[in-house]
Amino acid sequence: MEPMVINPSVEGYELSRLFGGAGRQGFSCSLSAKVESCKERLDTLLEPRLHYRIEKIDNVGRGFVSIEGGTTFKSSKLSQALKRSDEIVCFVATVGSAIEDKIVGLMAAKRLSEAYILDAMGSVAVENTVEQFHQRKEAKFAAESKSTTLRFSPGYCDWPVTEQKKLFGLFDSEPTGVELLDSCLMQPRKSISGVFGLFHAVNSHAPPPYNPCQDCKKTDCIARRT
């Protein structure tokens, strides 16, 4: 499937969250100046790219999700999230390697604060890329009387990061621009892979999608969804 074209945005409140500000955009004058300076060059550094596949779900059991073709993802939280789903959307997204090269160059030049800010911007940009994709698909599927679950990525909750290998195996025949290393980390580093489920919405009063964060006591988690 052809990559989806998405232009990510980098919002100040998301940067603030990564800086430890809990989403409050209270930057100092010096930090604001550096953020604006980095933003000016950001567009030349981002190379957003997202590939996705929609697969039929064969079975959802206790602690596993099997899709047609033989791939089985093992996670209790994921299986709970997808228990009503009959299809699964699998995706791999990146904002490319140029921003990573720039960060490395800034660090070598001892411009550590700029490197840190640009690193945070890259994280926000790739997350926004995936969020836009999810929202677009959510709107499209709503017109087909389908609903989507929340997004899950290997390494979230109880889904082992080693399951990246199974997820990337679905994209063997197409170049995603992202390499999976032996450690199961992705290269370029500013990349995200994951899945979400599709299910037929019986009516407008269907219960909200399962959110594992509501069962988790780690309230200081930066990825917490409440």
Q: Which two tokens stand for residue 13?
A: 């409140």
Range with the poorest average pLDDT among 59-63, 114-118, 142-146, 195-199:
142-146
| Dist. CA 36–CA 31, nearest whole Å | 9
Residue 81 vs residues 76, 185, 210, 222: alpha-carbon distances, Å:
9, 24, 5, 20
| pLDDT, tens digit (0-9, with 9 covering 90-100), for 165-200 | 999 999 987 788 999 999 999 999 999 999 999 998
What is the pTM for the complete model shown? 0.88
Phi, psi of 41 (to 5 degrees): -100, 0
pLDDT of 205 > 70? The answer is no
**pLDDT at 209 > cutoff 60:** yes
Q: In this structure, what token pair is assigned to residue 73?
A: 């993802």
* Position 13, amino acid: Y
In this prediction, residue 153 carries a pLDDT of 95
| pLDDT of the residue at 226 | 65
> What whole-number distance in Å separates Cα of residue 37 and Cα of residue 40?
5
> Can you give the pLDDT at residue 52?
95
Q: pLDDT band for position 204 (50/70/90)?
A: low
Q: Is the pLDDT of residue 24 over 70?
A: no
Query: 106-131 burial by CB neighbour count: b if 16+ within 10 A, else e?
Result: beeeeeeebbbbbbbbbbbbbbbbbb
Q: Which residues pair with 194 in a beta bridge?
A: 91
List, as own/partner pairs, every contact residues 211-219 make where C-beta atoms lie below 8 angstroms and the sequence separation is at least 24, other chains included: 211/150, 212/77, 212/80, 212/81, 212/157, 216/157
C-alpha 69/C-alpha 58 separation (Å) is 9
Query: Which domains are assigned to the chain?
Result: 12-215 (3.40.109.40)
Look at 22 and 76; give whichever has higher pLDDT: 76
Residue 222 has pLDDT above 90, yes or no: no
- 109 vs 14: which has the higher pLDDT: 109
- In this predicted structure, what is the pLDDT of residue 72? 97
The helix, strand and coil proportions of the chain, stated in percent and rounded to the nearest 5, come to 40, 20, 40
Cβ atoms of 92 and 107 within 8 Å: the answer is no
Report residue 225's pLDDT band, with 50, 70 and 90 as the boundaries: low
pLDDT (tens digit per residue) in 36-75: 889 888 989 999 999 999 999 999 999 999 999 999 999 9
Provide mean pLDDT across the span 80-95: 95
> Is pLDDT of 86 > 80?
yes
Average pLDDT, the chain: 88
* Residues of the chain above pLDDT 90, percent: 66
Q: Are 162 and 154 in contact (CB under 8 A)?
A: yes
